[in-house]
Structure 1
Amino acid sequence: MAAIGRIVDNLADFWRRSYTRAYLACLFLFITFLGSFFKKKELVPESYFSNSRNVLNVYFVKISWGWTLGLLLPFILLSNTYKKPWTFVLKRLTSLPVATLIWYFCTEAFCLIEEITGSCYESDTMQVIHGNITTKAACRKAGFIWDGFDISGHSFILAYSALVIVEEMMAVSHIPSSDRNVFLNCLYIALNVIVAIWLLMFTSTSIYFHDFWHKLLGTFFGIMGWCVTYVVCFPKFSLPGLPPKESEEKKDP
């Protein structure tokens, strides 16, 4: 148990620095540019991750928002109750509906954009168009291919989820090691593992899937969702406000 506590302490010390979280947003943009370059030049060979049926994509990325909410909900409940009234905890929990609204609005908008900009083709050669089929659902039902401006939902949700998680994990920094229970420590480590998976799968998406502009816009909206909430709005309003932090943060060297 002491080993788990030390792992949590080291991770918390890493994430507590505001510039670390800002660098994470920059890292997503960097991976988008570099991965797209590798894809265009075909510098990375086909691999297990180039198959969309890989385990991490099917059982994690496809339900990524479920994983994010499922781990953050108990974590916020446990980490935000330390020396805080329940009214504060309830306020903090509203960050999850806010994040869910952003996720829902963006993903629906991406689908709408793909729908109104797309056309139905007989094959991936894009040579025979079926103008009489005007919706993506009808096109796929007929066994054809719908091609529109497909903003990458993967790039969006993986970047946005990771940024939201690392912000909420800040709550651990105000709880002394001696006052953290095993369950909270395990939840914190699990959240870090999920962030690592999101980074891995974001990299995979950048290297193997989507066009550059589709990925760049998806990443941009993910970063903007985080920036508008945790950087601009949450610090100004008590509902939901920011996660609690240690009262006297260590000074960065």
Structure 2
Amino acid sequence: MIVRQALVFLSDQTAGFLGNRLVRAYYHVWLASLVVFGPLLQFYVNPRVIFANRRNYFHVRLVDSAWSWTVLLAGGYLLLLAYLSSGSLLTTLRHLSRLAVGTGVRVLCSRTFSWIEDVTGCCFQPTPEGLLLLESLGDRASCVGQGHLWLGYQVSGEAFLLTYASLVLAEELSAFQPYLRRRLPAGAPLRLVYLLAAAFLLLWNALLLVSVVFFHRYSQKMAAAGFAQLCWHLTYRRWYLCRWSPSRPAHDLFPRGPPRRDPAGRRCVCGAATAGGDVTWESVTETLLSRE
């Protein structure tokens, strides 16, 4: 009983925070500030701490597989949330397709970063005196194949992955607040998966800070964060608002609520819109309000 009460309390408080309008509006600014100002912490931390080593446990086990963890947890959460609220398999698959789009974005950006490194790099041969430029080897494959070193501009894949995964998780988890406000079924499995996903969101933020403090050059981290923010903006803030898209989180999930009155005393029909009515969008519950 105590465990269930704790689970309900933690999930409710987390949903209230992640569903807050200010958090949803400015979370990307918070991530940008981590990347912009985080490197300043390198002057105040011990460079010998365990997190400064690329072979530390969190970096080896979690950073490289951050997107897999994100898809696993967000997928489980979306599967339960979408099906319990809509009861439709097609609607559930439509919302899950956002994760497929995110996977495609991740793969496309990874190949773009590799291409940038190819076109901006040169082949070098390590020598006791330093690096010797090998102009005869002009492509990366032949350079690396002969045991030499290819050096080009590397966009930080870690900063991109952690920033993009954090943005996607924050967007998806924000739908739990209006779900709870509708008093839809919220059993222990859904709440537990939600809290696990929220815990990994916090972990991605922490690992992003560690990455920008200890690894890569400043411009490489800035470029990676810029790519991540652009991909998130073009999908969640642009494309997903269109009719022919996987749709934004919480869209078309919740049943129409009972008629209620707005502060002006007029009758509001939730989720419906008449042809000549005064239609407004209520951002808290993700609902269209039509005043008759």
TM over 0.5: yes
Q: Is the 8 A contact 1:79 1:184 kept in 2?
A: yes
Structure whose alpha-carbon radius of gyration is higher: 2
CA distance in 1, matches of 2:46, 2:124: 28
Q: 2:149 aligns with which of 126, 130, 145?
A: 145
- Which deviations, in whole Å up to 9, do the C-alpha atoms of 1:79-98 show, x marking residues without a partner? 11233122211211111111
Q: Is the 8 A contact 1:36 1:211 kept in 2?
A: no
Task: Using the TM superposition, name which of 170-179 and 20-29 deviates more.
Answer: 170-179
Q: Which position in structure 2 is the counterpart of 1:93?
A: 96
Task: Tell me the CA shift for residue 138 of structure 1.
Answer: 5.0
Task: Tell me the CA shift for residue 30 of structure 1.
Answer: 1.2
Q: 2:54 aligns with which of 52, 55, 76?
A: 52
Quick one: which amino acid aligns to residue 167 of structure 2?
L
Greater strand fraction, Structure 1 or Structure 2: 2
Residue 87 to residue 120, structure 1, CA distance change in 2 (3 Å): same
Does residue 231 in structure 1 map to residue 233 in structure 2?
no
Q: Is the 8 A contact 1:154 1:205 kept in 2?
A: yes
Does residue 23 in structure 1 map to residue 26 in structure 2?
yes
TM-score for the superposition, normalised by structure 1: 0.88
Q: Which has the higher contact order (CA 8 A, sep 6+)?
A: 1
Q: Is the 8 A contact 1:80 1:243 kept in 2?
A: no
Quick one: which amino acid aligns to residue 189 of structure 1?
L
Task: Tell me the CA shift for residue 34 of structure 1.
Answer: 1.5
Q: Is the 8 A contact 1:82 1:175 kept in 2?
A: no
- How many residues are aligned here? 248
* Runs of 5+ consecutive residues of structure 2 not aligned to the other structure: 258-281, 286-292
Q: Which position in structure 2 is the counterpart of 1:76?
A: 78
Does residue 61 in structure 1 map to residue 63 in structure 2?
yes
Task: Tell me the CA shift for residue 21 of structure 1.
Answer: 2.7
- Which deviations, in whole Å up to 9, do the C-alpha atoms of 1:52-108 show, x marking residues without a partner? 111111111111111111111111110112331222112111111111111111111
Greater helix fraction, Structure 1 or Structure 2: 1
* Runs of 5+ consecutive residues of structure 1 not aligned to the other structure: none
Q: Which position in structure 2 is the counterpart of 1:11?
A: 14
CA distance in 1, matches of 2:201, 2:144: 33
Q: Is the 8 A contact 2:31 2:163 kept in 1?
A: yes
Task: Using the TM superposition, name which of 237-246 and 53-62 deviates more.
Answer: 237-246
Residue 121 to residue 43, structure 1, CA distance change in 2 (3 Å): farther
- % of aligned pairs identical? 25
